[in-house]
Structure 1
Amino acid sequence: MNSHLFPHIGKVIASTGSRHFPRMLHDLIRTQLAVDAMHIRQMRVEPVGRSAARNEPEAVKNPALLAETVFSELSTVAPADRAAECGPATISDASQLHLTRRKDGYRYVISVYRCPSQRFSAQERSLLQDISPVLLPMVEKHITALQPPAEHLQPSPEIVQQGLDTLRQRFHDRVRLLGLRLSNRETEVCVGLLAGRTAPELAEQLQLKVNTVESYLKRAAIKLGISGRHSLMRWMYSPEERATDAA
C-alpha cells in the first residue's frame, strides 16, 4: 500500500461514527480513482464462515439497513438539487464497482459509480481491490458505531439475576406482611409473572405444563385475595396499607 494513503486513512479512522465519515472515505477512494459517487450500506444476510471482499453487483438488490451516499463535486451522476432524492443505485447507466464484506450475519458494501457509461478499467478495479481490506473494516466499524448490536443493549445475566432476587425478596416481604404462606412453586410462578414472563415461558423454565402453571397462579391468587395476573401486578406495587386492607 502506498505510504501517501496513510494520512487519508488516519482521517477516515478518526471520523468513524460521525457524519464526516462518508466524505472522508469518499476522498480516500478518490486518491486512487476518479468516481462520481460513493455509496455505503449494511444489509442482513445469512451468516457465513468467512468474510469476503469482491465485486458483487447483486448486492444492490438487497434492502439496506443503513445507507449513506456521497456525490463528488460537479458530479454527472445526479444533479446537486436531486442528490437527496436520487441515490446512485437508482441510475442504471452508471458504471459501478462493488466491494463487499460478510461478517456475523451482515453484509457491508462499498459501491462507487460513474456516469454516463465511463467504464472502470481493469487497473482501476485492481486498485480498489487492493485497498478493500482497509476500506471495508472501516465501514463496518462506522456502521457498528451508529447502530450498536442489539445484544449490547441487553442487561447482563448477572444484572437480570440481581433484579429477580430483589423482586423475589420484595414478594416474600409482602406475603409475610399479610401473614400468608405460599408454596415454592406458587412463589416462583408469581415472581416469574411479575418479572414479565408468560405462562408458556414459565412452564418451560420450571419444566411444567402450562395448565399446571396456571393452577399455581390460581392457588396463589386465592391466598392473596386477588383475581389473576393483572391483579397480582396491582397488589405487588400498591401501597402496603392497601394490600393489607385487600386481604
Structure 2
Amino acid sequence: MSLPRSINTMENPVFYAELGELIATSGHAAFAAHLWQLVDQWVPIHGAELNEWTLDEQHGRVLNIQRLGRAGQRNELSPAHTLPPLNEHPLLRDMLDMQDPLLIQIRARADRSHQCSLVSRQGDRRYVISLYRPPAQRGFSLAELSFLKCLSDTLLPLMERHAQLLRQAAPPEREPAHTLLEHSQLQREFDKRLSLSDITLSAREQQVCLGLLTGGTVPQMAEQLSVKNSSVETYLKRAAAKLGVSGRHGLAKWMIGA
C-alpha cells in the first residue's frame, strides 16, 4: 500500500470527524473501537489493543500489564497476542531504556500476527497501542510505518489521557456512545480545556473550533451558522490566535494537551 498523501491525510475532514469521536470517548469502553476505526481508515488493520505496562526498570522486569481496551476483527487474528511470560515479552527490551516515543514492528511468525506498537513513557509506565494483521497477510510497509509514526504524535498523548481518566473514574464498560452524546462530551472536554488554559472564546469561535474537530468544512459551518464563508474564516483565525495553534492538526493537539 502506498501512502503518498500521508501528511495531507491529517487535514482530511473525515480524519478529524473520527478524531473528534475518539476524543469524546476518552475514558470509556468505546475508546478502543474508535481508535481502531480511525487507524483502519488509512492503514488497514484487523485489531488494536491498548495496554499500560508498569516496569521495574532497575531490575529490567515487568510488574504488570493492564489492558485498557481492545477492538477489531478478533476472529481473524491468530493467538499472536496471547502474552508470553511477561519478562520474555518481545517489546520489553526496547521499552526499558526508551526516552522518546517508539514505533516497534514485530513481523509475523507461525504463532504470531504482524504487530506494530506505538509506545510512550511516563515514569515507570509505558503506554502501548498495538496494531495487528493476521500472519497470512503482508506486514506493514515502510510508507504505512512512516504514517503511523506521524500519527503517534496525536494518538499517544490521547492514550495517556484515556488511561488517566480510567484510573480516576473507573467507569463500568458501556456500549459505544451515539453521535449526539459524543458531540456533547466533546463540547464538555473542549470547555474544560479552555478553562484549564484560561482562554476565553466567543460562542461563534467555539462553534467553528468544534466544527473543525468533528470534520466540518468552512462552507458547511457557514451554512449551519447562517453566515458567509469569510465570517467563518475570521472566527477560525481569531480562535487560532487565542489558542496559539494552526490548522486542524494543531487544534487537535491542543485539545488533547499535546
Scaled by the length of structure 2, the TM-score of the pair is: 0.45
Structure whose alpha-carbon radius of gyration is higher? 1
Q: Which protein has the bigger strand share?
A: 2
Considering Cα pairs closer than 8 Å and 6+ residues apart, tell me whether 1 or 2 has the greater RCO.
Answer: 2
Scaled by the length of structure 1, the TM-score of the pair is: 0.47
